[in-house]
Structure 1
Amino acid sequence: KFAEVIVVAPNTQQSAVGHSITVSNPIRVNKNLIDKNFYGYAVEGSPADSVKLAIRNLLKGKKIDLLLSGINHGANTAINIIYSGTVSAATEGTILGIPSIAFSLASFTERDFSVSAKFASVISKMVLKKGLPKGTLLNVNIPAIPAGKIKGVLVTRQGRSYWDDYYDSRIDPNKREYFWLTGKMASLDKSVEFDQKAMEDGYITVTPIQYDLTDYKMLDELKGWNLKL
């Protein structure tokens, strides 16, 4: 044990909610107890809500050295980073000035988080020691394979692979049509330089990402358009 951990997390499944926040409904919070001991806060809101509420209210006055989001069920690589509530929680932590790391295990069913937890401990200690640049967070993905089969750790770029989705049309008991999102990962990246490919090949991936979405190469060209009303 090297740190005091306080859990502040959504009380329901929040996959693929991205960086949404609650603005039109109340956010309720419940204290969780295990054997009558305080365990953490369950938030009726999104991952980003949980982080904002933790820093602004629930943990106000406490020095927060590090924010960890996850370990998520399911990988968050490539384009899927945009949809990820897990990554968005870490992004919110970064926006609020806290070194932050997002962790995801590449399986929706695997219950053994021991490898993920071990590496989370390793990289957390490193970030506490070295820090992170302002505006940068780390996105970590762990393949769902036995520890002995993991090839190592690679620092990777965000890939271009994406979720090739489609909406399955179905009929409910009231004879009304509804749609269910389904699909599969379309792997476009052929080099372990990219997160999705490296993870598929058996590596733990660590990707430094930022929330600044500005296309700096396009700035000068746009200025040359001489746009006027």
Structure 2
Amino acid sequence: DALKPDAVLIHEDLDRNLNAHVVQRKGTYEDAAAQADLIVKRRFVYDRGTAAAMENRGIVADWDAKAEQLTMWDTTQAPVVIRNGIAGMLGLSANQVRVIAPFIGGGFGPKIMMFYPEEVLLPWISMRLGRPVKWIEDRQENFFSTTQERGQLHESEIAVTKDGRVLGVKDVFLHDAGAYAPYGLTVALNSQCTLLGQYDVPN
């Protein structure tokens, strides 16, 4: 509905609710379809989902007032970015902040997001209290608060021969990026670039 001509604009400075239109081609699908013995057409609907990593998010922040050093243990996939951001938000230099990202029980994308509120609040609280502060997300919090994947709608065609060769694939899909997409087209482009998997498809 958000793409209809009369839809309410999410961002009034844009003329429609479309983030981007990307076309990626290899060969000519129409030629493949003309040579195919069979064309299979399918519609795939992928609903909103969550990564549900074995280990939820967790943070320990420890401010050493004498050394003026902040140490953070964070189940993040982006420790350098977190360090630089935390330093900037808390008025510290990057040299005053150490972010340790231990081995984590799965990430799958949501743990590369920055910043979750807890990543700023815990260091701030530790600096105010002068003692270490720990927060571990429970599964319910994970489902409610950790970044989730949004849905996709695919209209797909595959052109094949009787002997099992894939001559071409055509996939037109819509990715619901929501109103605010911190990583822009990353997930949609991942879908686009990995569509063919390990197969050598000429068109």
Bin for the TM-score computed over the shorter chain:
under 0.3
Larger Rg: 2
Tell which has more relative contact order, 1 or 2 (C-alpha 8 A, sep 6+): 2
Structure with the higher strand share, 1 or 2: 1
